[in-house]
Chain A
């Protein structure tokens, strides 16, 4: 009975009571002292709990948090500059190498030597190249690799969107 009282009172407070139960509540309020005591006390609690006092956060919390966020951001920016700098140095090296390569191309002897090396390599690797070209020409292989390529591209797109979003999409799929 005690649990029944509790259930009825909680249903009443949560606005989940039906008309039969409401009648029961009204009857019990008139005829049952224990129920009445519980009901009045619980109703009082329900009506007063929205006045629970808040604990005041430290006054400087906003400055502290914003300071941490902004200092993290400036470290990130510094990191970006670091990687950009390395990229720029690598690009300079690449251009210098290309410049020397093309300037040496003018020397015919080097070109002739290079061509003969290419011919030698072609003969040496001919059976392997033939084997792989047969596989590549196979329709099933091409379809499968096409599909695989498409899946990889889609995965890349989704993972760029966001990792969480990507996970959700895979789950839905």
Chain B
């Protein structure tokens, strides 16, 4: 059976078939939840933000234009909802760290992740969750959702150049941590 596209589902919802919106929820709930867990670093807050995001997106469906992909538009709603909750919890300072601070921030987390990881791959994947918010978001959107760097920049409300710099910095940071634990020896 042919899988309905996001646009087809949205058109159906806008025509009055409200229950079709559950297809959108099922399709995006895990990805949106992962983004929110990364933003809020807390599953309880992420769950609340997830509900808010889906309701906000539903209420704004009329404003969605086909100029961008639905996923890009929806992730922007998710990101902004996460940020609103984050700023209300006064953890926004974590968002504004520069590259030097990235390393300091990750140091404490890194020891914990390294001690529980069985191999380099598990270490790498666990580490993504522990990165500063925007660094982990850029990696998730780019790799997990295969968004282009332009789409990532739209979601995170960054210029194209800044989004690219952030992606590179995040990869470099992961690389430096892997090398720090001598994982590169297994790759040679």
Which residues of A approach B to under 8 Å, CB–CB? 6, 10, 13-14, 36-38, 40-42, 44-46, 48-58, 61-62, 64-66, 68-70, 73, 162, 164
Give A12 Cβ to nearest chain B Cβ, in Å. Answer: 12
Chain A residue, CB-CB nearest to B43: A55
- A65–B81 Cα distance when bound, in Å, is 15
- A129–B168 Cα distance when bound, in Å, is 75
| CB pair A64 B34 closer than 8 Å | no
Does B14 touch A at the CB level, under 8 Å? no
| CB pair A41 B187 closer than 8 Å | yes
- A162–B139 Cα distance when bound, in Å, is 35
- A61–B22 Cα distance when bound, in Å, is 10
Docked complex: B151-173 residues within 8 A CB-CB of A: 164, 167-168, 171-172
Chain B residue, CB-CB nearest to A61: B29
Chain A proximity mask over B26-65: 1 for CB below 8 Å, otherwise 0? 1001111110010000010011001100110010001100
| CB pair A52 B179 closer than 8 Å | no
| CB pair B172 A6 closer than 8 Å | yes
**Chain B at the A interface: SS class:** helix
Does B5 touch A at the CB level, under 8 Å? no
Does B121 touch A at the CB level, under 8 Å? yes
| CB pair B188 A40 closer than 8 Å | yes
Give 30 CB contacts A-B under 8 Å.
A6-B168, A10-B171, A14-B149, A36-B188, A37-B179, A37-B188, A38-B175, A40-B184, A40-B187, A41-B183, A44-B187, A48-B125, A49-B143, A50-B144, A51-B125, A52-B144, A54-B31, A55-B43, A57-B29, A57-B50, A61-B25, A61-B33, A61-B47, A61-B50, A65-B55, A66-B18, A66-B21, A70-B18, A162-B62, A162-B63
| CB pair B33 A52 closer than 8 Å | no
- A31–B179 Cα distance when bound, in Å, is 19
9 smallest A-B Cβ distances: which pairs? A57-B33, A57-B29, A49-B143, A10-B168, A65-B54, A55-B34, A54-B30, A62-B25, A41-B184
| CB pair A61 B171 closer than 8 Å | no
Given pairs A45-B124, A50-B146, 11 additional interface contacts (CB within 8 A):
A6-B172, A36-B188, A40-B188, A41-B183, A48-B125, A49-B142, A51-B121, A54-B34, A61-B25, A61-B54, A69-B18
- A70–B33 Cα distance when bound, in Å, is 22
| CB pair B121 A48 closer than 8 Å | yes
Q: Which of B19, B25, B139 contacts A52 (CB 8 A)?
A: B139
Residues of B within 8 A of A36 (CB): 188
Interface size on B, residues (CB 8 A): 48
| CB pair A57 B32 closer than 8 Å | yes
- Total A-B contacts with CB atoms under 8 angstroms apart: 112
| CB pair B187 A52 closer than 8 Å | no
Does B178 touch A at the CB level, under 8 Å? yes
- A66–B184 Cα distance when bound, in Å, is 48
Give B188 Cβ to nearest chain A Cβ, in Å. Answer: 7
Residues of B within 8 A of A40 (CB): 184, 187-188
Given A51-B125, A55-B34, A57-B50 in contact, is the A69-B168 Cβ separation under 8 Å? no
- A77–B54 Cα distance when bound, in Å, is 21
Q: Which of A14, A45, A164 contacts B178 (CB 8 A)?
A: A45
